[in-house]
Every structure is written in structure tokens, then in C-alpha cells.
Amino acid sequence: MDKLIAYLNSLTKDQRTEFAARCGTSEGYMRKARSTNQRFRCELCVRIEMVSDGAVTRPDLRDDWADVWPELAANRKSNGGATGGSNKGAKMSRACSREAA
């Protein structure tokens, strides 16, 4: 099962609503996007990682994460495969900047 969906399912309805609001979206959008394999925007991935306190990470949300956030790929290599948790101070990569334009 998808890590985001598993995380959402672990929350109560009120917690899911609050989580989605803090991420700047809705639970319905997140569930539909995952079920249709829609790619989340970079900004939403960062918010989900931050609001979930790293329970759901950017690599969990995008298959192109290493291209979008090369600093995470470098961090993963230096940690022997672990993402090292949430990178709350991460800057948006050039790929993400182009996406936002």
C-alpha cells in the first residue's frame, strides 16, 4: 500500500482533515491523486513531509525525487540508503522551480 495512503488511514477523520489543511490541500485530492498516479507538485511534497514529521517523505511521493531534490540523493548515498529523515530546511531545486512557473 502507498505510504501516504497508509499514513492517512492511520489517522482519525478529524486528524486527516487537519493534516490535509495544514498541507494546503484536501484529503480527497491526495487520495485521488495517488489512485490515478498523478504527480504531486514539489511544494505539496515538501509540506506533506514536514506536516507528517517525516513519516511520509519526498522520495515516498515522487519517483523522480532524486532529479528534483539532488541533495536528498547525495544524503541517501552518504547514509547508506537512509533518507536521514525530514530535511525541513530544503530549498526548492531548479526542476521544482520550473514546475512552479
Confidence of residue 1 (pLDDT cuts 50, 70, 90): low
User: Rounded to whole angstroms, how far apart are CA atoms 55 and 59?
Assistant: 11
Task: Give the start-to-end residue ranges of the domains of the chain.
Answer: 3-100
Read off the pLDDT band of 62 (50, 70, 90). Answer: very high
Q: Is the predicted pLDDT of residue 88 greater than 50, yes or no?
A: no
Provide the grid cell at 25. 490541500
Distance CA 64, CA 89 (A): 20
Distances in whole angstroms, Cα of residue 33 to Cα of each of 5, 61, 82: 11, 11, 26
Q: Give residue 80's pLDDT band: very low, low, confident or very high (50, 70, 90).
A: low
Give the model's pLDDT for residue 78.
72
